[in-house]
Amino acid sequence: MAIDSKTNGHSNGAPKAPAELDASKLVISLAKELKPLPTPEELVFGETKTDHMLIVNYDPVNGWGTPEIKPYGPLSLDPMSSCFHYCPNVFEGMKAYVGPDGEARLFRPEENMKRLARSADRVALPPFDTKAVLELLKRFIEVEQRWIPTQPGYSLYIRPTIIGTRSALGVHASDSACLYAIVTPAGPYFRGDAKGISLLAVGESVRAWPGGTGGHKLGLNYAPGFLPQRLASKQGYDQILWLFGEDERLTEVGAMNVFVVAKREDGDIDLITPHLDGTILPGITRASTLQLAQAHTAGKIILPGVPANTKIHTHERVVTMSEVLRLADDQRILECFGVGTAVLVAPVGRIGWRGKDINLPVHKGGLGPIGNGLRTAILEIQTGVRQFEDWSVPVVSVDL
C-alpha cells in the first residue's frame, strides 16, 4: 500500500502528534559493577560521578522517546547540535536527603519542575510533562539511593538538564532535545566559612539585563561570570556581588540570592532581599527563606535559636550599595547571607566596594541567629525531621 507523504501515513489526513513524555515506558539497565562510595572527606562539590544516569530524547516527528536509566557514560551528540552553537541549555539544582525513617526525600521538587518548564520555554525547547519528569527523577533516586550521604549537612545533588540537539546550523529554535539527569554526593559548598565569604561588588560587568534571561536557569547565564570571578579571586574575594544600574542596586551573590538582616528602631528585624525584576533567579531557597521568616512572625513555626516574640519583617525591594554602607555605618546590619540549593545559607563577612571593604558582623560559626535559624529549619524540613507545608516529599514512585 502506498503511503501519502502529505498525510504522514494516516488515512484521515491528520498528522501524527509527537508523543508525550511517558514515565511508564521507563527502561532500567543497571550497571554490572558498582563504584566504591567515597568518604565524606573526599567529596568536592560536583566531582563525584555515580553509577547511573537518566536520559530520554525528543525529536519533532516522534516526540519523546523511551526514558532510560542506564550506566553513567558519555553522551553522543552531532557536532552541529544547537547546544554547542546557540546555547539552548537549561538545568535545575535539586537535592535528595535521607530522613529519620531511612527513606529518601526531595525538597519542594514541584517548584523545581515549574522552573525547569519556564526555563525550557524561554529558549523554545520542546515542552514536556513536569509530572512525568518528577516521576522519572524519583525512580532515578531510588536506583542511586546508596549514594545519599547521611551526615548532617550532606546530600545528593541532582542535576536535571535539557539541551537542544537539532543537528543543523542556522539560527533557529531547536526542535530536538535531550533530557538527562545526573547526581553527585555533596558536602558543604563553602568549607571553613566561619568568618563569612568575602564579596567584590561589581557593576561594570552585569550578570543579567531586564528583559533578558537572568530570571531563568540557563547555562548561558553562567559563563559570562567566569572572568569577573577570576579577577575577584585574584583580589582576594570569594565571590562576586553583582550590581546593576547607576544606583548600584544589589542583584545576586555569585549564583546565590542575597539577604540583608537589619535591626529596626522598634526592636523588630527587617529581612531584605532584592525583588524579582527579571534579572534575578527566583530561587527555591530564596522563596523558602521568605516564607519561613513570615511563618515565624505569624507563630506558625519557630526558627531554632530565634525568640518566638522576634518579629521578622520581609522586604522584596531595591537594595543599593549606598543603603548597605549606610546601614553598616549605623551598625544596623545584624548579618548578611547568600542562599541557594547548593550552598543553602552562606554567611557574608565583608564586601569590597569602590576600593574599600565594608566589614559585616561576624558570628560564632559564621551565621548569625536569623541565618542559622533559617538554615537549621530548612535542613530539618529537608530531612523530614520537621514537617512544614508538605515541602519534604518522600521519594516513593507510583506503580507504573
Distance CA 221, CA 228 (A): 13
Distance CA 361, CA 336 (A): 8
Over the stretch 29-60, which tens digit does the pLDDT of each residue have? 999 999 999 998 889 899 999 999 999 999 99
Q: What is the DSSP letter of 190?
A: S
Are 236 and 101 in the same domain? no
Residues 6+ apart with CB under 8 A from 332: 262, 263
Helix (H) / strand (E) element for 199: namely strand 197-202
Cβ contact 46:183 at 8 Å: no
As beta bridge partners, residue 336 has: 260
Residue 324 confidence (pLDDT): 98
Over the stretch 300-324, which tens digit does the pLDDT of each residue have? 999 999 999 999 999 999 999 999 9
From residue 354, give the alpha-carbon distance in Å to each of 204, 335, 357. Answer: 12, 21, 8
**284, part of any domain:** yes
pTM: 0.93
Across the range 60-85, mean pLDDT stands at: 98
Are 168 and 245 in the same domain? no
Across the range 105-123, mean pLDDT stands at: 98
| CA 322, 196, 332, 296 torsion-angle sign | positive
What would the grid cell of residue 272 be?
Answer: 531584605
CATH of the domain at 86: 3.30.470.10
Q: Which of 191, 194, 188, 153 is nearest to 363 (CA)?
A: 194
- Only one residue has cell 507504573, namely 400
Q: What is the DSSP letter of 195?
A: T
pLDDT at 372 over 90: yes
Are 253 and 321 in the same domain? yes
From residue 131, give the alpha-carbon distance in Å to each of 112, 120, 341. Answer: 11, 15, 21
Domain containing 52: what range?
10-186
Helix (H) / strand (E) element for 376: namely helix 369-382
Residues 6+ apart with CB under 8 A from 253: 199, 239, 240, 241, 242, 338, 348
**400, part of any domain:** no
Across the range 51-70, mean pLDDT stands at: 98
CATH of the domain at 288: 3.20.10.10
Distance CA 155, CA 398 (A): 23
Across the range 224-232, mean pLDDT stands at: 95
Distance CA 369, CA 37 (A): 35
Are 161 and 140 in the same domain? yes
Burial label for 15, CB within 10 Å (0-12, 13-18, 19+), is exposed
Residue 195 confidence (pLDDT): 78
From residue 269, give the alpha-carbon distance in Å to each of 29, 291, 371. Answer: 53, 15, 12
pLDDT at 230 over 60: yes
Over the stretch 242-264, which tens digit does the pLDDT of each residue have? 999 999 999 999 999 999 999 99
Total domain count, the chain:
2
Cβ contact 36:77 at 8 Å: no
Are 133 and 202 in the same domain? no
User: Last residue of a domain, which of 134, 157, 186?
Assistant: 186
Are 157 and 230 in the same domain? no
Q: Looking at 2-129, which runs of residues are DSSP E strands?
A: 27-28, 52-59, 63-64, 68-71, 89-91, 94-98, 104-107
| Amino acid, single-letter form, for residue 2 | A
pLDDT-above-90 percentage for the chain = 86
Cβ contact 272:262 at 8 Å: yes
**1, part of any domain:** no
Over the stretch 261-283, which tens digit does the pLDDT of each residue have? 999 999 999 999 999 999 999 99
Q: Interhelix angle for 284-298 vs 109-122, to 10°? A: 140
Are 327 and 265 in the same domain? yes
Phi, psi of 142 (to 5 degrees): -60, -40
Are 73 and 174 in the same domain? yes
pLDDT at 156 over 50: yes
Residue 193 confidence (pLDDT): 60
**5, part of any domain:** no
Q: Can you spell out the DSSP letters for 124-189?
A: TPPP--HHHHHHHHHHHHHHTGGGS--STT-EEEEEEEEEE--BS-SS---S-EEEEEEEEEE--S
**172, part of any domain:** yes
pLDDT at 384 over 80: yes
Are 225 and 124 in the same domain? no
Q: Can you spell out the DSSP letters for 254-320?
A: TTEEEEEEEE-TTS-EEEEE---SSSS---HHHHHHHHHHHHHHHTS---TTS-TT--EEEEES--B
| Amino acid, single-letter form, for residue 362 | V
**394, part of any domain:** no
Across the range 158-175, mean pLDDT stands at: 97
User: Last residue of a domain, which of 154, 186, 218?
Assistant: 186
Q: What is the mean pLDDT of the chain?
A: 93
**276, part of any domain:** yes
Residue 396 confidence (pLDDT): 81
Across the range 364-386, mean pLDDT stands at: 94
**87, part of any domain:** yes
What would the grid cell of residue 97 be?
Answer: 536527603
Are 358 and 229 in the same domain? yes
Are 164 and 225 in the same domain? no
Distance CA 307, CA 295 (A): 13
Are 179 and 202 in the same domain? no
